[in-house]
Amino acid sequence: MDGRDYFEKGQKAFVIGDHEESFNMFGKALEEGYEPVKTLLSRGAAYINIEDYDRALQDLDRVLEMDGNNERAYYYRGVTRLKKGEFQQAAEDLDHTLSLNPERGAAFFARGIARAELDREDQAVADFKQAVAYSHVETERFLNMFGSDRTAFQRSMALLQGERGPLTRVLNRTEIEKLRRWIEH
């Protein structure tokens, strides 16, 4: 087998939830020198899903050392930092993501959560509005990945309910309902 075969087996193992096999195959792909940026990015995302944030950050940092403009690495690192409660760093990574890809709806949503945690309510509201404008499957995947951390979503929900800011002045009823469904998902 060559590096590409190991990588593909790693991807398949991850999809079916065999994380141990996935990490083993990604490791072998790296040993074979198969596209380190792509492989480390995939393994980093896999580490996020098993909540091994330190290893995720190691892989994502390595990706950014090799490719300083890797939008997906900034996005995944921002999500990882958000899950670790490193809200300022998360917001900075997500800023970078959005400078490279200004249509990534999930990044707006994640940055909105980070900004809400940093008491930047007006900026958080603007991000939630952008998330709605760019909503697509990726935003839903972000919510599925982040769903185990209910605290951040509850705080974001407070914005929707007016406890931390008048979100209703900025978003219409349909947009608020869409965000509410995503948050309560």
Q: Could you report the per-residue pLDDT of 35-81, keeping only the tens digit for each? A: 999 999 999 999 988 999 999 999 999 999 999 999 999 999 999 99
Q: What is the pLDDT of residue 25?
A: 96
Report the domain count for the chain: 2
Cα-based distances in Å from 91 to 43, 73, 113: 22, 14, 9
Same domain? 155 vs 95: yes
What CATH code is carried by the domain that includes residue 28? 1.25.40.10
Q: Is residue 21 part of a domain?
A: yes
Cα-based distances in Å from 56 to 2, 32, 43, 75, 82: 24, 21, 7, 12, 13
- Domain that residue 31 falls in: 1-68
Residue 109's nearest CA partner among 133, 87, 86, 127 is 127
Q: Is residue 78 part of a domain?
A: no
Same domain? 54 vs 97: no
Q: What is the pLDDT of residue 26?
A: 97
Same domain? 108 vs 176: yes
Same domain? 99 vs 60: no
Q: Is residue 166 part of a domain?
A: yes
Q: What six digits make up the tokens of 90?
A: 């998360």
Say if residue 166's pLDDT is above 50: no
Q: What six digits make up the tokens of 96?
A: 């970078």
Same domain? 44 vs 118: no
Q: What is the mean pLDDT of residues 129-139?
A: 69
Q: What is the mean pLDDT of residues 128-144?
A: 67
Q: Is residue 80 part of a domain?
A: no
Q: What is the mean pLDDT of residues 20-30?
A: 95
Lowest mean pLDDT among 8-22, 74-88, 89-103, 124-138: 124-138
Q: What is the mean pLDDT of residues 106-120?
A: 90
Q: What six digits make up the tokens of 83?
A: 């899950």
Pairwise CA distance, residues 122 & 177, whole Å: 19
Q: What is the pLDDT of residue 163?
A: 41
Residue 46's nearest CA partner among 29, 32, 31, 69 is 29
Say if residue 5's pLDDT is above 70: yes
